[in-house]
Chain A
């Protein structure tokens, strides 16, 4: 019974939302089918915010930590390029870039 009644409730809420202009009706659950744009259909769940920044769910990411993967890959790509260039020049793959003149 519970499962059957859910879509009916959701449908009723959708109509209500249209009339009163609510953005996130509390009882309307996120089912993934109401899209802001093609390929963008996320909605907050009842009781959850549209934006988490400033809420109790704010992840408060440290930008320095977020940048670490990019920095690490730049180093790898630079060292790999040195190795490949040396290989093309000499025919010998030298992994240790300190040994590449």
Chain B
């Protein structure tokens, strides 16, 4: 009754005036400025995972202790991070994508939970574990309640009343029968909820869609391949950099109709510039992995994409990996900054560490390519990226093709960087990147396309890169601090396993990150020195976040190993080529962790609401 009554009020409001004057995104910008909130994936529209909180700092981090924890009741990979809005924390789980609202004054009390009923067949078309990267939040207005926006593996985008957890609307945005799923966190800009796509390993043609948060109506939808109007190119698309390519390439760089099953799904992260009104994301790999079956540059897969938030029109697009031969799905995190370039010009920038082993920096207003640096000097697929032409200079020795087994290819398909959401410290002008150090052998094979079935067509063998321990299959990760203008690494350290989950930087001169072997670690962000670590229940594939509640700074991170590196452990696989080649590379992971599923919260001296033993008691005293 309550639900329908409030909905009636909304319906009336909608008829009175659909075009609300005050954009909710302004509220999100305001909310994101408070250290008491963490209101969106990546913390703010710059997507920099940077907090100005200094209570926990390099001097006192040794006092950091466990404060409280929450188990989600699910296993498998737990990616992303919770949201905090005032007294409320919103936590998400792996499939079936439960949502929990916790009261930060008494986090043992679950205020509401949303438990979707999904067709279990959705599990069978998820390429890389049953993960989900998180929730988004729309702050509400005087007519419509605040909403928590979530995705489900079965393809639905759902809006929940943030106070009650009741379903506000639920739209279909992916069909498992044609191989589609959803794993990314949606994103709220203005009064729109933006959602990407998954399934390039099943021949899904990538699409991105915006829905009106108030009505559930589709506002725009565009594709990564095909005719220009379906891709949504703006009239002035790439006008500042016409050498990137402009019209007609979504079909001209394919043979026949192969673009219809051409991949380019975007399942990574977003960023947004309110002045330019552009959202940024990267499109994924073309399908199939067998390069011989899709001659051509395969545009606009593997592309750094900037679209107008309200119309979806594509302002610029830079293809990082023309004619992918390695599954370097171009979906990784995009972090925004303002820095002075080498010529002394102040620029609004985006920085993007890609699967292909290159970290790119572009002018985010017009797409000018500023930097393209190797994530590690062991990258060999490209000799370098020519900044003038924007083209990667391929080393043919490390390409892939039919009737050939490529060997010692670096990076591997898992990339030198994957889905981890990194951080940027604007005061130090340093990016803190969790990096993979995995190389591979690769041999493609011919296969038919059948909608709903896997459409990969390659066998992979993956192993530690040259700086790791190839005998013992350890040394698969690195953590580095990087300057995008000087093209230098201030510090770097090897890690036992890939740093898969991303990083968090703070004004306390600290960088935090979780590891696949189940530690939360803190390093001095100036020097990279390891200052603190804590053993968590399970490996980490989400990014740490921080917030202040009642004057106490907390650091929180999801625990629960899985994702692509965890598929061997999670599904009990032994064949080294199973799990798209990840099983062999991570065969030792299970000697350091098992599955889990929880949120772990830390503070100085472990200060927490239950320091008052009467908080949460049924009988006080």
Contacts and interface: CB of A to CB of B under 8 A. Distances in A.
Contacts of A79: 172
A61 interface: yes
B214 to A, nearest CB: 10
A5 interface: no
Closest 4 CB pairs of A and B: A39-B245, A91-B11, A29-B396, A91-B7
Given A32-B391, A69-B451, A87-B215, A42 B7 contact: no
A32 B253 CA distance: 13
Interface string B150-187: 00000000000000000111111101011010000000
Given A42-B322, A67-B260, A90-B11, A33 B386 contact: yes
B11 A32 contact: no
B175 A93 contact: no
B319 A31 contact: no
A84 B216 contact: yes
Interface of B: 4, 7-12, 14-15, 167-173, 175, 177-178, 180, 204-205, 207, 215-218, 221, 242-246, 249, 252-253, 255-258, 260-261, 292-293, 295-297, 299, 319, 322-323, 386, 389, 391-397, 399, 401-402, 446, 448-451
A4 interface: no
A52 B204 contact: no
A12 B257 CA distance: 36
Contact of A72 (B4, B177, B217, B399): B177
B244 A48 contact: no
Contacts of B14: 88
B169 A48 contact: no
Q: What bracket does the count of chain A residues touching chain B fall in?
A: 35 or more
A53 B292 contact: no
A6 B383 CA distance: 13
B255 A53 contact: yes
A41 B391 contact: yes
Contact of B449 (A65, A73, A93): A65
A84 B389 contact: no
A45 B369 CA distance: 28
A72 to B, nearest CB: 4
A77 B8 CA distance: 24
Contacts of B175: 69, 72-73, 76
B117 to A, nearest CB: 11
Contacts of A53: 255-256
A73 B426 CA distance: 42
A99 interface: no
Given A39-B319, A61-B257, 10 more contacts: A32-B393, A38-B242, A38-B246, A52-B293, A66-B257, A69-B260, A72-B175, A72-B178, A88-B14, A91-B8
A57 B402 contact: yes
A77 B246 CA distance: 29
Contacts of B243: 38-39
A52 B169 contact: no
Given A48-B401, A69-B261, A91-B7, A40 B295 contact: no
B340 to A, nearest CB: 29
Contacts of B451: 65, 68-69
A87 B11 contact: yes
Interface string A55-76: 0010111110111111011001
22 contacts: A3-B397, A32-B322, A32-B394, A37-B245, A39-B245, A40-B252, A40-B297, A42-B323, A44-B295, A45-B399, A48-B292, A48-B402, A52-B255, A53-B255, A65-B450, A69-B180, A73-B175, A77-B221, A84-B218, A89-B11, A90-B7, A93-B170
A98 interface: no
A13 to B, nearest CB: 12
Nearest to A89: B11
Interface string A1-15: 001001000000000
A17 B391 CA distance: 22
A40 B178 CA distance: 30
A91 B143 CA distance: 12
A52 B255 CA distance: 8
Residue of A65, A77, A79 ringed by the most chain B CB atoms within 10 A: A65
A10 to B, nearest CB: 9
A55 to B, nearest CB: 9
Nearest to B243: A38
Given A66-B257, A91-B7, A33 B393 contact: yes
Contacts of B221: 77
Given A52-B293, A53-B255, A57-B402, A91 B12 contact: yes
A77 B175 CA distance: 12
Nearest to B177: A72
A68 B176 CA distance: 12
A72 B173 CA distance: 10
B7 A59 contact: no
Contacts of A87: 7, 11, 169, 215-216
B171 A83 contact: yes
Residue of A3, A6, A32, A89 ringed by the most chain B CB atoms within 10 A: A32
A85 to B, nearest CB: 8
Residue of A3, A52, A90 ringed by the most chain B CB atoms within 10 A: A52
Given A45-B401, A77-B218, A92 B393 contact: no
Contact of A84 (B217, B256, B297, B395): B217
A40 to B, nearest CB: 6
Contacts of A89: 11
A98 to B, nearest CB: 14
Contact of B244 (A32, A39, A59, A69): A39
Nearest to A10: B396
Contacts of A95: 170
B7 A80 contact: no
A44 B392 CA distance: 17
Contact of B260 (A6, A29, A70): A70
B87 to A, nearest CB: 27
Nearest to A71: B178
A68 B203 CA distance: 11
A29 to B, nearest CB: 3
